[in-house]
Amino acid sequence: MHGEDVFRAAIRGKNVPILVLDQKWHRLFAVHGKTDEIQKAEAQLNGLIARQGRLNTDLKEFRKLKNKLMDSIVQNMDAIAENEKDSVREKTIEEDKRLIDELNDKIAACEDELLDIPSAIREENEKLMLLSMDYFYAKLRVNQTESKEITDWITQVRIDLKKNIIRKQNRVINNREIYAYLHDIFGADVLDLFDIRYEDEGTVNVKDEEEES
């Protein structure tokens, strides 16, 4: 990857936005589209973000369910205190405790994974940024080269245009002089026989014999 060390140094310590959530980043590819490598990194980053969202949702649900189970245990324990022989409630309490233990394991697993995901997202986002910078760095260089080529072409066209304008002016002046000399030497009647006329635009019109035939 061209300039990867330079790009990494440039973004080190900076708060890089999550690219896949930035519409401006997507619009950068409106003309040429995304490379397969960029699409793959984009999909991986989207997957991590989606996973983070699911874990947060699951964590909320697990905690809500745990609170309900704990409330159930408290209510059943209060009921047993009033009536010591209540095997149904005792079994319910035991089942609720078992479910709470399972939920605790799930909550711990979610919390552990949620601690790791932000760094994974940052790493994948940085990878996607480096791929994007490398891609557009190349595009900028190509555009710069082509822009210079077009500028050089325009400059040459302007030079050629000026040269041709001067050549045209010289031809007009030369025709004017030739007509003037012919007119002075042979007179207008002779020039009319050859259908040679001086026009208002400063040019001399000579009718071809082929056109006459």
How do residues 139-185 score in pLDDT, each as one tens digit?
999 999 999 999 999 999 999 999 999 999 998 888 888 878 887 88
Tell me what pLDDT residue 164 has. 95
pTM assigned to the model: 0.67
Tell me what pLDDT residue 40 has. 96
**Hey, which CATH number is domain 4-151, 2.60.120, 1.10.10, 1.20.120, 2.40.10?**
1.20.120
Tell me what pLDDT residue 45 has. 97
CA distance 178 to 30: 62
Residue with tokens 């980053």: 45
Structural domain spans, the chain = 4-151, 162-212
CA atoms within 13 A on the CB side of 159: 6
Determine how many CB atoms are found less than 10 A away from the CB of residue 47: 11
- What dihedral do alpha carbons 11, 15, 21, 26 form, nearest 10°? -30
CA distance 11 to 127: 11
